[in-house]
Structure 1
Amino acid sequence: MTDVNSSDGLMTPIRPEQLEPGAVIAQSLDNQWVPARLAKVMIARGQSLDQVGRQRNQEVRAEYFRSLINASQVVINRAYFYNNDAINHDFALEGESRTAHQRLLASGAIVPFLLNERHPAEEPPAHLHLRRDGFTAWQETLAGIPATDRVRCVRMSWDGTSGDQENRERTRVRLFQPFAEKVQGLTAKDIDVLAAQVGVDRQDADRFGRRLGEIVAFSNDLSVRRESVVRNTLYEEFVSAPGTNIAEGRYDRGKPFAAEIKQLLDLIYNVNLADALGRYPLTPVGSLRRVVLQEAREARSTAGFVEDPEQLLTLLRRQSFAAVQDQLTPSAVNALSLQDIWRLRQTSAWNGYIRAFGDLTADPGAFQDSVGLVFDRYVGLNAEILELAREHGRARPAPWRPVVEVVVTVGAAVFTAVSGNDVWEVAGSVLPLTVSGSLTGSVQLVLRNRIAGRQQQRFAREIAAVRLASEREWAQFHDLVRQLPGYRDAAGPGATGTASTTTQDNEDLPEY
């Protein structure tokens, strides 16, 4: 029996409940993540992930840095350390960046998630796609961590016999079974709503629904034969080009709705690990929103429920913020180095920002009183980021008009309010209530530059779960929102979603 609080030389094993309350799982670090717009271009042109590698890596790296800026702790699947160039770029060679990575590991800012392994440097199963040079650099990085430091690693269970039976069982129940259940439930959704949210034309909705039926039937057949329902298997059948390695990321334009199905499978997969660990996924820009799944779900342990229509309305009402003196921001977050990120996390500005956000999520009902402090701390943090970029001559400053955006989803409806910089807008994209989970949703807080820039610093986090008791409460909330000054209906049902991605393979326990 292993004591989960004992340390094994380099490593301190922890359970999911021992993660920090503000821990997140960064979806974009999946070695298959592609923004929806880029995925469609890839499929149309028959390109692989490597062929769009430069553009994709820039976006992944920006999301990686954002996660380390905006969250106290980031959980990363151990395979991504050696298979994702956006991450292993920093420790491929000895130097300042490798040292920064070691410090982030030792401080608990980065936590590897282990599936079957009992140590982060353990050789992965033979079936798992492995970039040997990345894995060697990962082992060297771990070996170079000072003997007095420890790396926190999270696993479903550390208890049990040498066969780790308890970990395998918990992983099946918490990861693989929910994935299969969500896939097999796709045809129980409102197909018209689902089609609209993933960008399928209205006239193709029936054909899309039949394709989903084929996926569900295929998945059910796997389950009946007691074979694991994993994303790679579904990719092979419905998304990937025949005869290609899944890791190559070459998707088949000849397979009906390959792009839309990829995004759906990826969304389902992406939220699974976050759910299993009791934390929220950090959703990248250009990723499908969870509301697409039309699910009834319990709140994660990091946030409470908002159940009162009046209280929900306060989240969308206009907020007042102090005037912003600093009118510049770095034009790209990935102009920074990992050492800059480490230094930033040591500043009082960063610590104040994280504390303010923690207070907000601990009591979302006090949003009116606490969001102003989060905004203020965010402005201060941006000034620190700009200063770090300037030190290296990498600032390339851009005009900055910071705003707060609150996104409330309930069922298939999305309401968005933007305030700050003398601007206030509130809009709704409302689709019909669905039978499954129609009265649940979430509240997301976004802090961003009103002048769009895809790789600029921005923040997007789920701060509360929504649960309305009945359609009466939903109607009351909808009526209240429509009475807000300047409210408008957003054009088109597709405004409720965009697109997403993640990873899965196979062994005794399939790869996750």
Structure 2
Amino acid sequence: MTDVDSSDDLMTPIRPEQLDPGAVIAQSLDNQWVPAQLTKDMIERGRSLDQVARQRVAEVRAEYFRSLINASQVVVNRAYFYNNDAINRDLTEEGEAREAHRRLLASGAIVPFLINERHPGEEPPARLHVRREGFTAWQETLAGLASTDRVRCVRMSWDDPVHDRENRDHTRTLLFQPFAEKVQGLTAKDIDVLAAHVGVGPQEADRFGARLGEVVGFSNSLSVRRQPVVRNTLYEEFVSVPGTNVAEGRYDRDKPFAAEIKQLLDLIYNVNLADALGRYPLTPVGSLRRVVLQEAREARATPGVIEDPEQLQTFLRRQTFATVQDHLTPAAVDALTLRDIGELRQTAAWHAYTRAFGELTASPEAFQDSVGRVFDRYVGLNSEILRLARERRRARPNPWRPVVEVVVTVGAAVFTAVSGNDVWEVTGAVLPLAVTGSLSGSVQLVLRNRIHGRQEQRFAREIASVRLASAREWEEFRDLARRLPGYREEAGAAPTARAATTTQDNEDLPDY
């Protein structure tokens, strides 16, 4: 076996298992990612990705920075370094931003993911779309690294450098095949639950299910003909305007449920890479979370499975959280620069925050004892963000009302507990059919500023998966939740499993 710890004059090749335990794959960096509401606006108005670029890049940029703040390591598909404006804007001009990017690469905070290529600066195949200015800037960034610096690059396999058979086999087995399986399994899910999560009303659920059947049938036909099942091909058939390049992002309002199918395909695409690497998908605010897929076991990297209704209830119980009065937080993380993010990652507050979260995810059953520590460290981290913003004279201070939310999703039901700053609320949004569908789900932890949750720095990530054995256990959990002080239930509501929903304003391988 090739020694993947050896390095050339630039790169240290690593395998997926050598990534940090807390490494994430940021969905927002996907070249097709668009916030759900903006997707609907694009379809209604016939607008392309370029036509919403200013708004979209600002959203992507903010999520990019949040991923670097909230995770020890972020894995980035190599193509995004030169094709994604939110990233390559730091590389296109020599200066402070490019140097900050070099430091993040050299520290291992950012790890390029390579599919076929064996070197981060390798010329892409001619068939792929490449922004030449961005690629030149990426090559110059790599070339300017100090002679002692190394970029960690992750790949499925580094063996067999001549023929690369093992890498191709692993990539097909761990990446392409699971993507096809997830798509082809959509109609095996509870359609009412799927419809509720993507925002399709009960009266449209049957028509939506029939359209999903067409997606599955088309995917099956590709597999039978030995053709690859990839997202671009499915986009062309069910999402994009005919005759346009998928990269343009022109989504067809005449194709039934184009927006909802796009959401599902994007979710599958991004959690699939996270699974292949054995790490976490970091889902941006407003995007579907993987609980929608109703898997018996969520991400492979999810550390714990909660199966006891009483244990699940502990996530919703009132906690005593230390609240910090008279604190302020920047109005938006994207007011900072990449240099600021790098400086933030060097502070004791950031290290304490990531350490506390690592301890929580390693033992989610000890939530009661450890979540307060995470909350305290989060407050300290936001104080550092404010300090940086003030030094740069970019602070727009708002009242700081730190709260913690716990979001428990089981099937089509969502339970939310909010605590902190003298606030205590528990809300359940339950569909009547919840007990007849999937009894799997997840627990998500959200830390935010209660007053301005939309634009503030925030943390949101799954900390455990849920699997209840029967409808009886589901009813037991629901009964326990109803007994909590201040509980209210929104019966008949249509919850959606979006990331941090409650933080909203009330023989080469084919291209993957």
TM-score of the superposed pair, with normalisation by structure 2 = 0.95
SS in 1 for 2:81: helix
SS in 1 for 2:451: coil
Aligned counterpart, 2:503: none
* Aligned positions of 1:49-198 closer than 5 A: 49-198=49-198
Q: In structure 1, how many angstroms separate the alpha carbons of the residues matched to 2:385 and 2:209? A: 47
Aligned counterpart, 1:448: 448
Alpha-carbon contact 2:460-2:499 (below 8 Å) kept: no
Cα deviation, residue 40, structure 1: 0.3
List structure 1 segments (4+ residues) > 6 angstroms apart after TM superposition: none
Q: In structure 1, how many angstroms separate the alpha carbons of the residues matched to 2:113 and 2:346? A: 24
- Is 1:407 matched with 2:407? yes
Q: In structure 1, how many angstroms separate the alpha carbons of the residues matched to 2:486 and 2:323? A: 23
RMSD: 1.7
| Aligned-partner residue type, residue 362 of structure 2 | A
Q: In structure 2, how many angstroms separate the alpha carbons of the residues matched to 1:115 and 1:224? A: 25
Q: In structure 1, how many angstroms separate the alpha carbons of the residues matched to 2:194 and 2:112? A: 34
Alpha-carbon contact 2:412-2:495 (below 8 Å) kept: no
Alpha-carbon contact 1:299-1:464 (below 8 Å) kept: no
Cα deviation, residue 375, structure 1: 0.6
Aligned counterpart, 2:204: 204
| Aligned-partner residue type, residue 97 of structure 1 | A
Alpha-carbon contact 1:289-1:497 (below 8 Å) kept: yes
* Aligned positions of 1:234-249 closer than 5 A: 234-249=234-249
| Aligned-partner residue type, residue 283 of structure 2 | T
Question: In the superposition, relative to structure 1, how do residues 326 and 71 fare at CA in structure 2: closer, same or farther (>3 Å)?
Answer: farther
Cα-to-partner distance string for 1:79-109 (whole Å, 9 max, x where unaligned):
1111110011111111111111000011010
Q: In structure 2, how many angstroms separate the alpha carbons of the residues matched to 1:310 and 1:56? A: 42
Cα deviation, residue 439, structure 1: 2.9
Alpha-carbon contact 1:364-1:463 (below 8 Å) kept: yes
SS in 2 for 1:122: coil
Alpha-carbon contact 2:116-2:508 (below 8 Å) kept: no
Q: Which runs of 5+ in 2 are unaligned?
A: 501-506
Alpha-carbon contact 1:59-1:455 (below 8 Å) kept: no
Q: In structure 2, how many angstroms separate the alpha carbons of the residues matched to 1:307 and 1:203? A: 33
Aligned counterpart, 2:19: 19
| Aligned-partner residue type, residue 462 of structure 1 | E
| Aligned-partner residue type, residue 106 of structure 2 | A
Aligned counterpart, 1:395: 395
- Is 1:478 matched with 2:450? no
Aligned counterpart, 2:504: none
Alpha-carbon contact 1:36-1:499 (below 8 Å) kept: no
- Is 1:353 matched with 2:353? yes
Q: In structure 2, how many angstroms separate the alpha carbons of the residues matched to 1:146 and 1:493? A: 56
Cα-to-partner distance string for 1:156-213 (whole Å, 9 max, x where unaligned):
1111251211111111111111111111111122222212221123222222111111
Cα deviation, residue 3, structure 1: 1.4
SS in 2 for 1:315: coil
Alpha-carbon contact 1:306-1:464 (below 8 Å) kept: yes
Of 222-231 and 393-402, more deviation after overlay is shown by 393-402
Cα deviation, residue 352, structure 1: 0.6
Cα deviation, residue 493, structure 1: 3.9
Cα-to-partner distance string for 1:276-303 (whole Å, 9 max, x where unaligned):
1111111111101222112212553351
Cα-to-partner distance string for 1:280-332 (whole Å, 9 max, x where unaligned):
11111110122211221255335122222222111110111123134311011
Aligned counterpart, 1:214: 214
Cα-to-partner distance string for 1:463-488 (whole Å, 9 max, x where unaligned):
11223333333222221111111212
Q: In structure 2, how many angstroms separate the alpha carbons of the residues matched to 1:359 and 1:286? A: 27
SS in 2 for 1:251: coil
Aligned counterpart, 1:31: 31
Alpha-carbon contact 1:291-1:412 (below 8 Å) kept: no
Which fold has the larger relative contact order, with Cα–Cα distance below 8 Å and residues 6 or more apart in sequence? 1
SS in 2 for 1:13: strand
Aligned counterpart, 2:292: 292
Alpha-carbon contact 1:198-1:288 (below 8 Å) kept: yes
Q: In structure 2, how many angstroms separate the alpha carbons of the residues matched to 1:194 and 1:453? A: 27
Cα deviation, residue 440, structure 1: 2.4
Aligned counterpart, 2:303: 303
Q: In structure 1, how many angstroms separate the alpha carbons of the residues matched to 2:160 and 2:490? A: 53
Q: In structure 2, how many angstroms separate the alpha carbons of the residues matched to 1:490 and 1:53? A: 37
SS in 2 for 1:316: coil
Cα-to-partner distance string for 1:113-149 (whole Å, 9 max, x where unaligned):
1111111111112111111100110010011111101
Q: In structure 2, how many angstroms separate the alpha carbons of the residues matched to 1:266 and 1:167? A: 24
SS in 2 for 1:494: coil
Q: In structure 1, how many angstroms separate the alpha carbons of the residues matched to 2:493 and 2:225? A: 39
Aligned counterpart, 1:283: 283
Q: In structure 2, how many angstroms separate the alpha carbons of the residues matched to 1:425 and 1:308? A: 23
Q: In structure 2, how many angstroms separate the alpha carbons of the residues matched to 1:157 and 1:46? A: 42
Aligned counterpart, 1:503: none
Q: In structure 2, how many angstroms separate the alpha carbons of the residues matched to 1:392 and 1:430? A: 46
Of 463-472 and 307-316, more deviation after overlay is shown by 463-472
Of 125-134 and 452-461, more deviation after overlay is shown by 452-461
Q: Which runs of 5+ in 1 are unaligned?
A: 501-506
Cα-to-partner distance string for 1:68-89 (whole Å, 9 max, x where unaligned):
0111111111111111100111
Q: In structure 1, how many angstroms separate the alpha carbons of the residues matched to 2:326 and 2:25? A: 31
Alpha-carbon contact 1:326-1:383 (below 8 Å) kept: no
Question: In the superposition, relative to structure 1, how do residues 286 and 209 fare at CA in structure 2: closer, same or farther (>3 Å)?
Answer: same
Cα deviation, residue 259, structure 1: 0.8
SS in 2 for 1:385: helix
Q: In structure 1, how many angstroms separate the alpha carbons of the residues matched to 2:429 and 2:386? A: 35
Q: In structure 2, how many angstroms separate the alpha carbons of the residues matched to 1:290 and 1:434? A: 19
Q: In structure 1, how many angstroms separate the alpha carbons of the residues matched to 2:266 and 2:223? A: 20
Cα deviation, residue 254, structure 1: 1.2
Cα deviation, residue 411, structure 1: 2.3
Aligned counterpart, 2:267: 267
SS in 1 for 2:358: helix
* Aligned positions of 1:413-432 closer than 5 A: 413-431=413-431, 432=433
Alpha-carbon contact 2:22-2:71 (below 8 Å) kept: yes
Q: In structure 1, how many angstroms separate the alpha carbons of the residues matched to 2:272 and 2:79? A: 17
Alpha-carbon contact 2:284-2:499 (below 8 Å) kept: no
Aligned length: 505
Q: In structure 1, how many angstroms separate the alpha carbons of the residues matched to 2:4 and 2:314? A: 43
| Aligned-partner residue type, residue 104 of structure 2 | L
Question: In the superposition, relative to structure 1, how do residues 28 and 487 fare at CA in structure 2: closer, same or farther (>3 Å)?
Answer: same
Q: In structure 2, how many angstroms separate the alpha carbons of the residues matched to 1:301 and 1:232? A: 27
